[in-house]
Amino acid sequence: DKDTIILGIETSCDETAVAVVRNGTEILSNVVASQIESHKRFGGVVPEIASRHHVEQMTVVLEEAVQASNQTWEDIDAIAVTEGPGLVGALLVGVNSAKALAFAKQKPLVGVHHIAGHIYANRLEKEFTFPLLALIVSGGHTELVLMREHGMFEVIGETRDDAAGEAYDKVARMLNLPYPGGPHIDRLAHEGAASIDFPRAWLEEGSYDFSFSGLKSAVINKIHNAKQRAETLKNEDIAASFQASVVEVLTEKTLRAAREYQVKQVIVAGGVAANKGLRKELETKFADTGIPLLVPPIKLCTDNAAMIAAAGTIAFKQGRRSGLDLNANPSLLL
């Protein structure tokens, strides 16, 4: 069989990323220009600034990714691009760059769902075994997705309010930690004790949905009450207790779903998959089940375009094509 070479483009949030991937499994190049420094002083991603940066960075990142891949335009079979979900103005830069390229270079165009990308980041490490369960935990998403075959996604649980990463970032803000707060809370958590009994949102019996807004409120109240009573509350202990609640719920629901659907593989994806506490707890709990757990390296957990090219490869091979009328869809369903 001839190799399939896909160029991926990702601009859904605050990373301008282009990558080239061979056969959906091998990274030939993976260039990511992060804008975190520009958004930091605002305490979160500013959509207008994100779009402008994508416009500035796109051609540079694209040229670098093609050059580093050692492939010519002749070799590239198709252009895959994140069409949603995400910030509409940010998505539009990637989508229009991809359309211009597809038109100029006469290549097929494939729109990719951002979460399918996060899932397929794992296939850059190891081949999938179906049925598989994916836990996606990022700044915008918290989902449990069942896959019985390539390119087919069944959402069996999702957050009803905040995403896990969003909760991390909000709690970090309360503790005056810089954006994005996830890694800072993670670091503090390891220096503290989970001595505060924060709630766990299990929801109805058997539900695989998540909710983090109650936990967030509990943290606010705890900080507020401690201030009023002039109690000293260590940031490390708040971080450790908050993380314990998030990690316990994520791990338990993933375990339960993995058993119920008798999956052959569990994969973790999204920025929060970089969390050391979560990785450790999942590894410990899944070691006893015999179900193989795959957690990608941190570089593939956060937003990148290799994951979009990897997911795009499957879509391309399954014959899915987008027209030059492809539009950004900020609320695209998986």
Which one of Zn ion, ligand KG4, none interacts with residue 281, CB within 5 to 8 A by kind? none
**Count of Cβ atoms closer than 10 Å to residue 49 Cβ:** 16
- Does 303 bind Zn ion (CB under 5 A)? Our answer is yes
- Out of 69, 82, 122, 138, the only residue in the binding site for Zn ion (CB under 5 A) is 138
- Give kind and range of the element (H or E) at residue 33: strand 26-34
- Closer residue to Zn ion, CB minimum distance, 111 or 192: 111
- Could you tell me which stretch among 98-106, 134-142, 250-258, 273-281 binds Zn ion (CB under 5 A)? 134-142
The residues near 187 (Cβ < 8 Å, ≥ 6 apart) are none
**CA gap 89, 214 in Å, rounded:** 31
Rounded to a whole number of angstroms, the minimum distance from the CB of residue 170 to ligand KG4 is: 9
Rounded to a whole number of angstroms, the minimum distance from the CB of residue 321 to ligand KG4 is: 25
Rounded to a whole number of angstroms, the minimum distance from the CB of residue 271 to ligand KG4 is: 2
- Does 142 bind Zn ion (CB under 5 A)? Our answer is no
Which one of ligand KG4, Zn ion, none interacts with residue 77, CB within 5 to 8 A by kind? none
- Closer residue to ligand KG4, CB minimum distance, 66 or 295: 295
Residue 308 · residue 23 · CB < 8 Å: no
Annotated binding site for substrate: 136-140, 169, 182, 186, 275
Query: DSSP readout, 66-115?
Result: HHHHT--TTT--EEEEEEESS-HHHHHHHHHHHHHHHHHHT--EEEEEHH
**CA gap 120, 100 in Å, rounded:** 25
Tallying the residues shown for the chain, one arrives at 334
Contact footprint for ligand KG4 (CB under 6 A): 13, 138-140, 165, 168-169, 180-183, 186, 270-272, 274-275, 302-303
Q: What residues make contact with Zn ion under the rule CB under 5 A?
A: 138, 303
